[in-house]
Structures are given as structure tokens and as C-alpha cells.
């Protein structure tokens, strides 16, 4: 797992939804209380800064539930 990807994702979440708690690999995405528009904003942020297209349907198919799952998913697309 790329530490830079985790740091980027954590910062993106903080900026988009004003989450100020600790974000670790085991943080559940549902605990971040992200709304559907937050996911879209994060998707756009990832595209803009990392050049990676995120498929929202992959979240259910791959069972992406934690920040660590999300980071591994992003890293798999590089």
C-alpha cells in the first residue's frame, strides 16, 4: 500500500467533508459519513491529482469498506 496514496486520500476526505478525526487504513468508509456527492468529489479529486478514473460500481463489487481497501483499489489502477 502506497503511503502517499493513503495520505492523499485522507487529505481529500478532510477537505471535502470536513472530517477532523484520525483516518487510518482500518477506518470504515461508512464512519466518515460520506454522502454520494462526497464520493463524486473524491472521485474528481483522484482524477485531477492522480489521473485515475474511479468506477463507483467497484465499491460494491469489490466490497471496498475501509480506507485501506480504497487505497489498495486506487493503487491497483496505477
Q: Report the CATH number at residue 9.
A: 1.10.1200.10
Give the total number of structural domains in the chain.
1
Spatial separation of the C-alpha atoms in residues 77 and 24, rounded to whole Å: 21
Which residue in the block uniquely carries the three cell numbers 477537505?
A: 15
Give pLDDT tens digits for 18-69: 788 899 999 999 999 888 899 899 999 999 999 999 887 887 778 899 999 9
Angle at 35 between CA 31 and CA 38, to 5 degrees: 105
| Domain ranges, residue 14 | 3-76
Spatial separation of the C-alpha atoms in residues 38 and 16, rounded to whole Å: 7
Spatial separation of the C-alpha atoms in residues 13 and 6, rounded to whole Å: 11
Its pTM stands at: 0.87
Amino acid at each position: 500500500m502506497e503511503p502517499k496514496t493513503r495520505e492523499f486520500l485522507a487529505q481529500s476526505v478532510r477537505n471535502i467533508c470536513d472530517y477532523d478525526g484520525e483516518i487510518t487504513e482500518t477506518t470504515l468508509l461508512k464512519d466518515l459519513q460520506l454522502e454520494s456527492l462526497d464520493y463524486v468529489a473524491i472521485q474528481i479529486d483522484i482524477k485531477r491529482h492522480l489521473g485515475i478514473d474511479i468506477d463507483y460500481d467497484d465499491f460494491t463489487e469489490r466490497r471496498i469498506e475501509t480506507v485501506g481497501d480504497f487505497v489498495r483499489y486506487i493503487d491497483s489502477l496505477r
